[in-house]
Amino acid sequence: MPIATVRGVHLNYEVLGERGPWVALNPGGRRDKEGVRPVAERVAAAGYRVLIHDRRNTGLSDIVIDGQDSEYEIWSDDLHELLRQLGGLPAYVGGSSSGCRTSLLVALRHPEAVKALMLWRVTGGEYACNRLAEQYYGQYIEPAKQGGMAAVCEMEHWSERIAANPKARAQLMSLDPAHFVQVMEHWRSYFLRDVDKPVIGATEEDLRSVKVPCCVVPGNDWTHGRATGVKASELLPDSELHILFPKDEDVPLAVDAWDDPQKQAELADILIGFLNRVSAATPA
C-alpha cells in the first residue's frame, strides 16, 4: 500500500476508484482503514474516488505520542494535509465515531477544504466522554508508570499494532514513559472537559458555524446514542437526518450491528444518495 509522509509522519493509505469527486471516509475507534472499507468500496463503485487511511497510532501508520492539540484534532490536520498532497481538496469527508470527530474537525479547522460532511455514530454526553477517555488514554497511564513502555506494548491495542507492524514496538520503546503518561493525560483531558458539549470536540456554536451540507446517521448504543446524533443534526444548519437503527441497544457498543453487511449496504446507500444530491447541486 502507498505510504505518504504527512507532517513528518508516515501514513498508510489507499484510494479506491480512479475518477470522480474526492471522498475521504474514516473508521471509528482506533480501527485501521479496513474498518471502513466495505462502505468505501460501495461509494467508490458509485463513481467517487475514496481515500481511506490508517490514522497515526493506528494500523500500519507511525506511532507518534506527542502534540499539544487533541488527538482527533491532530488526525484532522493529518487528513487535510494528506488530501492536499493527493490533489483531493476540497473533498466530501465523513466517518464513524472517532472518524466522525475527525471529519467534523476538518470542517471546523479547514472549512475551505470540505464540500459536505457525512457523520455517523456521533458521540457525545457524559457516558461517552468518560468511557472513551478511559478507553483511549486512561487505561495506559498506570501500566506505563509501573512497567514502562514494555508494559504498554503488552496491552491489547498496542500489541495488535506490533503484530501487524513490527517496527511499532521500536517506536513505542523509544518513548520516555513519563512523556507518554503526560500526553495520555493531556489527550484524556479533552474528552473529560467535553461532558456538557452536544458532541465530543464541538460546541453548539461550532456546529451552527458549519456551512456545508451534512448527512447525519445517529448511532444506537450508550456511547453513540440516537439522541446525540439527532441533536447534532438539529444544530447543523444544512443537515439531513437518516435513522438506520430505530432503537438504541442497551449496551456500551453495538459494533456487530454496524458490521452487519446488510446494514453496511444500507448505510452506503444513504451516503451515496446524499453525495449524488449534493454533487449535482455543486458547480463543477
Please give the pLDDT value at position 281. 84
Please give the pLDDT value at position 283. 62
Please give the pLDDT value at position 11. 98
Q: For the sheet with 214-217, list strands across it.
A: 3-6, 9-16, 49-53, 22-26, 91-96, 114-120, 214-217, 239-241
DSSP string, 25-68: EE-STT--GGGGHHHHHHHHHTT-EEEEEPPTTSTTSPP----S
Q: How far is CA 115 from CA 89, 153, 242, in A?
A: 9, 40, 19
Please give the pLDDT value at position 1. 72
Q: Is the dihedral of CA 204, 240, 124, 27 positive or negative?
A: negative
Please give the pLDDT value at position 284. 55
Please give the pLDDT value at position 73. 98
Q: How far is CA 145 from CA 39, 151, 172, in A?
A: 40, 9, 14
pTM reported for the whole predicted model: 0.96
Q: In whole angstroms, give the CA distance from residue 278 to residue 124.
A: 27
Cβ(91)–Cβ(22) under 8 Å?
yes
Residue with cell 444544530: 235
How confident is the prediction along the chain (284 residues), in pLDDT tens digits per residue?
799 999 999 999 999 999 999 999 999 999 999 999 999 999 999 999 999 999 999 999 999 999 999 999 999 999 999 999 999 999 999 999 999 999 999 999 999 999 999 999 999 999 999 999 999 999 999 999 999 999 999 999 999 999 998 899 999 999 999 999 999 999 999 999 999 999 999 999 999 999 999 999 999 999 999 999 999 999 999 999 999 999 899 999 998 999 999 999 999 999 999 999 999 987 65
Please give the pLDDT value at position 166. 85
How is domain 3-129+199-281 classified at the architecture level of CATH? 3-Layer(aba) Sandwich (3.40)
Q: In whole angstroms, give the CA distance from residue 248 to residue 136.
A: 23
Ramachandran angles phi, psi of 82, nearest 5°: -65, -45
- All structural domains of the chain with their residue ranges: 3-129+199-281, 130-190
Q: In whole angstroms, give the CA distance from residue 163 to residue 59.
A: 10
